[in-house]
Amino acid sequence: MKKIKTILFVSILLMFANSINAQEATKAEIKIKTSATCSMCKTTIENYLSFEKGIKKSSLDVDSKILTVTYNPQKTTPEKIRLAVSKSGYDADDVKANEKAYNNLDDCCKKGKVCTDK
């Protein structure tokens, strides 16, 4: 009887561990260096990414220009996320900003410009 209890306990424990693994597989995080300059850039990028498939959450730190993205690795990839950032008008690591989107940005959001609104 004791043996059965132990087996039961172990199998419940294994089931529990499996469910944790399954959860983790749908969630990953990356940090991307962008060319953002101000809080308006932050809004632009975060809004754009909120419509992207597989992206759960994105947050840009304006001072460091680092964008932290929480995503589902079964639905998107870091490459696709960088491409999305590029399409919003900003550089993402080695991926250069999409020219058309970049030209549509507000003047203060362009590279090398310093915004008064930080």
Residue with tokens 């932050």: 42
Site string for Cu ion, 74-103 (x = CB under 5 A): ------------------------------
Residues of span 11-70 touching Cu ion by CB under 5 A: 37-38, 40-41
Minimum CB–partner distance for residue 65 and Cu ion (Å): 11
Residue with tokens 């940005």: 105
Count of chain residues binding Cu ion (CB under 5 A) = 5
CA distances from 104 to 24, 55, 89 (A): 38, 24, 8
Chain contacts with Cu ion (rule: CB under 5 A): 37-38, 40-41, 109
